[in-house]
Amino acid sequence: MDNTIEKIAEAPSFMLEKSIDAGKKITDSALSHKQVKKAHGYWTSLGPGLVTGAADDDPSGIATYSQTGAQYGFQLLWLSLFTFPLMAVVQEMCARIGLMTGRGLAGNIRINYPKWVLYTCGILLFIANTLNIGADLGAMAEGVKLFAPQFNFAVLAIFFTLFVLLVQIFTPYERYAKYLKYLVLVLFSYVITALIVGIDPKQLFYHLVIPSLTFSKGQFFLITAILGTTISPYLFFWQTSHEVEEEILHGKTSIRLRQEGVSKKEIRKMRIDVWSGMFLSNAVMFFIIATCAAVLYTHGIKNISTAAQAALALRPLAGQYAFLLFGLGIVGMGLLAIPVLAGSAAYTISESFLWKQGLYRKLKDARAFYGIIILQMVIGLSLNFVGFDPIKMLIYSAVANGLVAPVILFLIVQMTSSKKVVKELVNPPFIAMIGWLTTIFMVISGIATIVSLFI
């Protein structure tokens, strides 16, 4: 009888503990589900800004960041923080132009400025992008040869050219946009690589927030190269036109419909998208510089010219996984960046001459637009077989960008400061100031890039 009473007395306490445990599990499950739902919502909200930011880390950019870390260690790591707000502000301006006008950047320049300005920008952009495409195609072929040396360089370069063209021309835009978006995930290979090699966090933080310079010609050239590869004209045109493509995808098929009004929710979504994309782009720059500084610079390996050389140099020092991840990033980012390079020039030239344009259109409906893409890809591919040094391709591309970037930036800041163009979404004074400062930096960078070739 006593035992029975004791069991009955203990039962409520036991049941209460079970109930508490069950309640905790339900709460944890609900929180986990809520977090997953929130993360999914954030991922869904990302689009043109994310792709644009990721495309900035193309194989040519990877080579530049690798050189920076290999030659100067952690010293220039602060540039990844310095360029972030500059890049984000400019790309947000481009996105606002696309959303508020319903036209691409070239279409707005055509309406608001003399045509010779647009034609000059279009020609220089075409030249710069074509050279960059050629260098990136070569880098991708070399990237594959890192893992499979038996493959022929020419066959690989031709394969990537045809693959990119077929996907870009014949894939419906909705699916193509998703394809580009998921390719962004390849960038995390550089984050993982940095974690694998192991870097002192204190050293990273110090060089991130404390600017340092040696005022040498080589370092100054690399700084201008970084500015040129992070704040590039092709990104301006792509961002604006991609915003328009997204509007068309959501049913706003005419300029009139796109100009009828943009909700606060759309503006907020655009800003999250753009700033997230630019943050990712600069974060990857940070990790690539840090990895090459921690591994290559500390072991005296400073002569790095290409991304493939950086990957090969990492192999004996940082291990097979670091080598594989670094090499994977070269190929993956080429597949993302080359369509952006080709597409941005196609948008620009097509809008300049009022040709039908847009990746949402079929080939038969926009032959000139797709013809420009094909022409760039064919010329870029052929440059790899006529003895054109890929390093020189990037130098000439940097010169073309150095000439055109300040001009386009001036027009972008001016247009986004005008109610006639972007209505109520004009630049606040602080944002306008950053825009003009960025323009000044790019003028200095462009002059320095050109002058350094003759010194």
Q: Specify which of 5-14, 18-27, 300-309, 406-415 reaches the highest per-range mean pLDDT.
A: 406-415
Residues 75, 25: Cα–Cα separation, whole Å: 48
Residues 169, 375: Cα–Cα separation, whole Å: 13
- Helix, strand, coil % (nearest 5) of the chain? 80, 0, 20
Residue spans of alpha helices (H) in 296-319: 307-318
pLDDT value of residue 141: 92
Q: Is 273 within a domain?
A: yes
Query: Has residue 218 got a pLDDT over 90?
Result: no
Question: CATH number of the domain that 397 lies in?
Answer: 1.20.1740.10
Number of domains in the chain: 1
pLDDT value of residue 338: 92
315: nearest Cα among 339, 331, 299? 299
Q: Is 46 within a domain?
A: no
Instruction: Give the residue numbers spanning the domain of 266.
Output: 58-452
pLDDT value of residue 31: 55
Residues 280, 50: Cα–Cα separation, whole Å: 8
160: nearest Cα among 404, 372, 381? 381
Higher pLDDT, 10 or 359: 359
Q: Is 153 within a domain?
A: yes
Q: Is 231 within a domain?
A: yes
Q: Which residues contact 36 (CB under 8 A, 6 or more apart)?
A: none
pLDDT (tens digit per residue) in 379-419: 999 999 987 777 777 777 777 787 788 999 999 999 999 99
Vertex 35 angle, CA 32 and 38, to 5°:
150
Q: Is 133 within a domain?
A: yes
Residues 226, 443: Cα–Cα separation, whole Å: 14
Residues 162, 241: Cα–Cα separation, whole Å: 24
pLDDT (tens digit per residue) in 247-286: 888 777 777 777 676 778 888 999 999 999 999 999 999 9
Residues 380, 383: Cα–Cα separation, whole Å: 5
Q: Is 24 within a domain?
A: no
Q: Is 249 within a domain?
A: yes
pLDDT (tens digit per residue) in 76-112: 999 999 999 999 999 999 999 998 998 999 999 999 9
Residue written as token pair 């809520």: 34
0.85 surpassed by pTM: yes
Vertex 320 angle, CA 315 and 324, to 5°:
90
Q: Is 181 within a domain?
A: yes
Q: Residues 322, 334: contact at Cβ < 8 Å?
A: no
Q: Residues 103, 255: contact at Cβ < 8 Å?
A: yes
